[in-house]
Amino acid sequence: MHKEVKESFLQRIIDKKSKCPPWQGDKLDKGASTGKLKELRSRLDGLFDHLLSELDPYQRVLKSISFDGSKVRCGGSEAILKNEGRVIVVGAGKASHQMAQAVHEIFGERATGLINVHKGLGTLSPLGNIRFQPAGHPNPDEGSVKGAREIIRLLEEAESQDIVFSLISGGGSAMMELPVPGVSLGEYITANELLNRAGCEIEDWNAVRKHLSQVKGGQLAKRAEGAAKVFNLMVSDVKGDRLDVIASGPFVTDPSTFEDAYRVLTNIQQKADVLGTDIPPKVIDYIKNSRGVTERETLKESLPNVANLIVASNSTAIELAAEELAAMGIHIPESQRIHDLSGDIEDATIDIYARLAEAIKVNPQKPAAVIAGGEATVDVTRYPGFKDGMSYGGRMQMMAALMLYLIESLPVVGLFAATDCRDGKPPGGMPESAGALVDGTTLTESRVREIDVECYVNACNTYKMHEKLSTKIHKDRFVTNVMDLAIVVYLPLPCKQ
């Protein structure tokens, strides 16, 4: 085992902090007033509640569509809905049933169709003429296939007077699936799991999945060519909001080809001994024999009747947070907004702190903040106390814990949260944690209360740590996932009480 795996994270954080811009802002000397820090914590918690309301998929769709009885407007596109025309509603994902509620409110019983929803929701009652099909996640199941078949039928029946609304959100890639002829669902799942275990980049993963599917890679757009208009509304849970990646782009053009998919499978097959499983022969045969067969390819050119619109994303969350902070008198220039939070969790945490320290250099007597969105990763092999099944807490609870060592004795408050309010798996029987809310006094308090933060972090057991510190964020609402959000605010304080 490498030395880096055995050592505590703390030395790494100290070393990386030494390379950040020097702190030129106020510090919490002994006796300094902390009342405003507590007030700011409360305001940031309220800000997060506001974001959850604003990111509600129902509200986002409701605000995106207007209908005057004849003309439908959505984003920058519009279409005429004739008296005899139907409003066909299809889609899949964790938030798509909420999106469907908005479409039903606007069009009433005229809206008809099927949405594939997470089977964990149980059997949902129809919403007027919109039905719901329970489907699998993270792997597709027979419900995913059954719903996909019905969605394809609805789209193929669409006529020139009809308008289609496609409602896509996170998880839709698994919840709506129909493998190509000759490949069973079980074989598709085996190939999908091998792609995951092989550590494929998302582009390679999607190249294979799209070419084994009858719905991904714009193939539903092909089915809906007869419709007057297709409004493809999406809640994005992917970095960069790439349309072809969101639920594997059922209505979006695909840049990959069968040749790309075959290259990826060939590389994976060479690792079969390590992965412990071969790629199913029918999967390889289909991909290999489809190279150069144009009619089998995914969508390569946009169709004129399809309009794509992202109604909510991580970028939306960042902009909304910036607006709320501006209303508090804290303006966030673009240099203090991180739209691609990624990579190792320690490096991502350091980046946020460094940007805050750099921002304060301009004027230490003015409040400043950094907003970061995306998804960093926690490499548990770097933490010597990690034990599978005994370590709890997600990415944002870990980031909050690491930030404690950077902001100790500083007038800084940090909110770190998963936008779906589910930050990692909680211990059995315990409530979900959305993340954590900490400040420059938290680490000092932990020492007074004899809570060993370093031990908890080394064990990746940050859920328990934040619970003991009363810094854990809990919300009863679970809206939708647009990845993670961190807000770190510097607030100059009166020097002494």
Q: Identify whether 378 is part of a domain.
A: yes
497 in a structural domain: no
Q: For residues 210 and 319, state if they share a domain.
A: no
- Torsion, Cα of 223, 227, 233, 236 (10° steps): 20
- Render pLDDT for 306-344 as a digit per residue (tens, 0 to 9): 999 999 999 999 999 999 999 999 999 999 999 999 999
* Same-domain pairing of 362 and 236: no
Query: What is the spatial distance between Cα 295 and Cα 210, in angstroms, rounded to a whole number?
Result: 14
pLDDT (0 to 100) of residue 496: 39
The number of folded domains in the chain is: 2
Specify if 384 maps to a domain: yes
> Within this chain, do residues 41 and 164 fall inside the same structural domain, yes or no?
no
Q: Are 374 and 338 in contact (CB under 8 A)?
A: yes
The pLDDT assigned to 29 comes to: 84
Residue among 140, 141, 158, 137 nearest 89 (CA): 158
Which residue ranges of the chain lie beneath pLDDT 70?
1-6, 31-32, 479, 494-497
pLDDT of residue 1: 34
In a domain, residue 496? The reply is: no
What are the residues facing 163 on neighbouring strands? 87, 229
* Contacting residues for 347 by C-beta, under 8 A, at least 6 apart: 16, 376
**Domain of residue 432, CATH code:** 3.40.1480.10
Q: Are residues 350 and 402 in the same domain?
A: yes
Which two structure tokens, joined as six digits, stand for 133? 């099909």
Question: Which residues constitute the domain of residue 145?
Answer: 57-312
Domain endpoint, select from 260, 285, 312 = 312
- Read off the DSSP letter of residue 230: E
Counting every residue, how long is the chain? 497
Query: What CATH number should be reported for the domain holding residue 94?
Result: 3.40.50.10180
Whether the model pTM is above 0.95: no
- What's the pLDDT at 416? 98
At 23, the amino acid letter reads W
Using alpha carbons, select from 115, 111, 151, 304 the residue that is nearest to residue 225: 304
Question: Which of the listed residues 262, 292, 312 is the one where a domain comes to its end?
Answer: 312
pLDDT of residue 284: 96
Whether 433 is covered by a domain: the verdict is: yes
Same domain, 249 and 207: yes
- The string of pLDDT tens digits covering residues 351-405 is 999 999 999 998 999 999 999 999 999 988 889 999 888 899 999 999 999 999 9
Considering the domain architecture, whether residues 308 and 166 belong to the same structural domain is answered as yes
Same domain, 389 and 470: yes
Q: How far apart are CA 72 and CA 247, in angstroms?
A: 25
Q: Is residue 357 part of a domain?
A: yes
> Among all chains, which residue has been given the structure tokens 């080809």?
257
Q: Are residues 174 and 38 in the same domain?
A: no
Q: Which of 284, 312, 340 is the last residue of a domain?
A: 312
**Pick from 311, 298, 305, 171: nearest CA to 241:** 311
Q: Would you say residue 495 lies in a domain? A: no
- Residue 78 counted as domain residue: yes
Q: What was the pLDDT predicted at 2?
A: 38
Co-location of 320 and 438 in the same domain: yes
Cα 427 from Cα 436, distance rounded (Å): 16
Verify that 262 and 366 share a domain, yes or no: no
Q: Are both 242 and 390 inside the same structural domain?
A: no
